[in-house]
Amino acid sequence: MTEVNARATVGQAAGRGQVVAWGFWDWGSSAFNAVILTFVFSVYLTDKVGDDLPGKVSASAWLGWTLGIAGLIVALTAPVSGQRFDASAKRKRSLGMLTALTIAAMTLMFFVHDDYHDLWLGLVLLAFGSACFELANVPYNAMLRQVSTPATVGRVSGFGWAMGYFGGIFLLLICYFGFISGEGDNRGLLGIPTDEGLNIRLVAVLAAVWFATFALPVLFAVPEMPRTDADPGAASAGFLGSYRVLWRDLCELWRVDRHTVIFLVASAVFRDGLAGVFTLGGVLAVRVYGIADSDVLLFGIAANVVAALGAIVAGRFDDRGGPKIVIVVSLAAMLVCGLALIVVSGPLMFWIFGLLLTVFVGPAQASARSFLARLAPPGREGQLFGLYTTTGRAVSFLSPSLFGLFVWLFDADRAGIAGLLVVLAVGLAVLLPVRPPGPVAAQEGIDPAPGEPMGS
């Protein structure tokens, strides 16, 4: 296969239709994140399927350990996977394969009945789907460089994040009102029987169909990336050899532009803080601020809406002033809102400052992705986004650990907010000295040669 100069791949599919097709994958993938992993199927596994599990180990503990193993596999394989996707010119094919495996796991969840004997099948499918889904995000994020130009990467990244937020909200509402709401043996507007968990099992199938439908456009609209000259030897290296190539590239990156390496560390820390805000926000809403259980879902919907709108608006500031200023302002604003939440009380104050805090989550997430897309040497985006995934996994214990530590030290759930703020503050502190991508590259579409630092 003839190799092309890696710079030729930047913006090769930056048409409006291709950007929309790329964003639809985010819209569809929210089916796994929101429905399967977070709000519906995982809860069904622990509260229904494994409710009467014999033995001293609870279903929740098994769930945590199983997902932990899946996360470890992702952390160990994501960088070399992304590296091989790029070097072998199979980025889109890999996205399609990993997406299909995720959808297959979601479909098979239909066979997980409300019986503790089926718990193990559910755990295996959830762990397998989680690993495939996280690995699929590596080539998907790497495609950002193909579907945007250096002058539009911020807007395109923000658009993708917003599509994910809105897609998750829309599907959750369909699942809730159609299959879950109400009492008795038949649930939702469709009157689905709850016998053997049928309503939840059908939700898993609906989520699989949703993901499959909206994942298809990107596979047709965005061309496969050609083989480039960006990473010599990576295409022919075997599995173990890929780790040697990865180590070689990391050493080179540290010598040539160590700011990229530092950014990977900084983003891993503050991204864990951002995840902690959404993961633990519902607990705080009920236990600290007196939000009714029935209103938590409403707050979650509102939080996702404002985060999505924030990502869209901030994308334009990203393209004009650079992603670093967006991230710094977002994290600083979240620290201010978080400090206010420590002081105030009552549902109204939580709605005000909680939504103000979440409005900055979307911009920070979207600009972190665009920041790395601008920094990555052309043709090696998959490798860098694989490292992005790995570093995020490596520090994913920070937010829950510090949240729990502060709650224990001060004997108050409210103190857990301070733990989350510490994570965000550390991420911000590590980010501050990182050199941002150069304004010439951002404004005029000039990319450095592979190996050159973009911020020079």
The per-residue pLDDT for range 379-417, each reduced to its tens digit, is 888 889 989 998 898 888 899 889 989 999 998 889 999
**CB-based contact 415:406 (threshold 8 Å):** yes
Q: What is the 3-state secondary structure (H, E, C) of 285-322?
A: HHHCCCCCHHHHHHHHHHHHHHHHHHHHHHHHHHHHHC
Q: What span, in angstroms and rounded, lies between the C-alpha atoms of 258 and 98? A: 31
Lowest mean pLDDT among 46-60, 129-143, 354-368: 46-60
> What mean pLDDT comes out for the span 316-325?
94
The per-residue pLDDT for range 99-130, each reduced to its tens digit, is 999 999 999 999 999 999 999 999 999 999 99
- Considering only CA atoms, which of 126, 123, 110, 131 is closest in space to residue 59? 123
| pTM, full prediction | 0.87
CB neighbourhood size of 72 (10 A): 12
The per-residue pLDDT for range 161-202, each reduced to its tens digit, is 999 999 999 999 999 999 998 889 999 999 999 999 999 999
Look at residue 219 in the predicted model and tell me its pLDDT. 95
Q: How many residues does the chain have?
A: 456
Query: Which string of DSSP letters, residue by residue, matches 110-125?
Result: GG--SSGGGHHHHHHH
- Is 370 a residue whose pLDDT tops 90? yes
- Of the pLDDT bands very low, low, confident and very high (cuts 50, 70, 90), residue 232 is low
- Considering only CA atoms, which of 454, 71, 72 is closest in space to residue 263? 454
CB neighbourhood size of 117 (10 A): 9
Q: What span, in angstroms and rounded, lies between the C-alpha atoms of 19 and 8? A: 18
With residue 186 as reference, give the H or E element that holds it.
strand 186-187
Q: For the chain, what is the total number of helices (H) and then of strands (E)?
A: 16, 2
More confident call, 439 vs 239: 239
Dihedral class, residue 265 (left if φ above 0, else alpha if ψ from -120 to 50, else beta)? alpha
**CB-based contact 326:363 (threshold 8 Å):** yes
- Of the pLDDT bands very low, low, confident and very high (cuts 50, 70, 90), residue 245 is confident
The per-residue pLDDT for range 34-90, each reduced to its tens digit, is 899 888 999 899 889 998 899 888 888 898 899 889 989 999 999 888 888 887 778
Look at residue 454 in the predicted model and tell me its pLDDT. 36
Look at residue 3 in the predicted model and tell me its pLDDT. 55
> What mean pLDDT comes out for the span 132-146?
94
> What mean pLDDT comes out for the span 221-227?
83
Tell me the chain's radius of gyration from C-alpha atoms: 22
Map tokens 């991508």 to a residue.
437
Helices 59-87 and 119-142 cross at an angle (nearest 10°) of 30
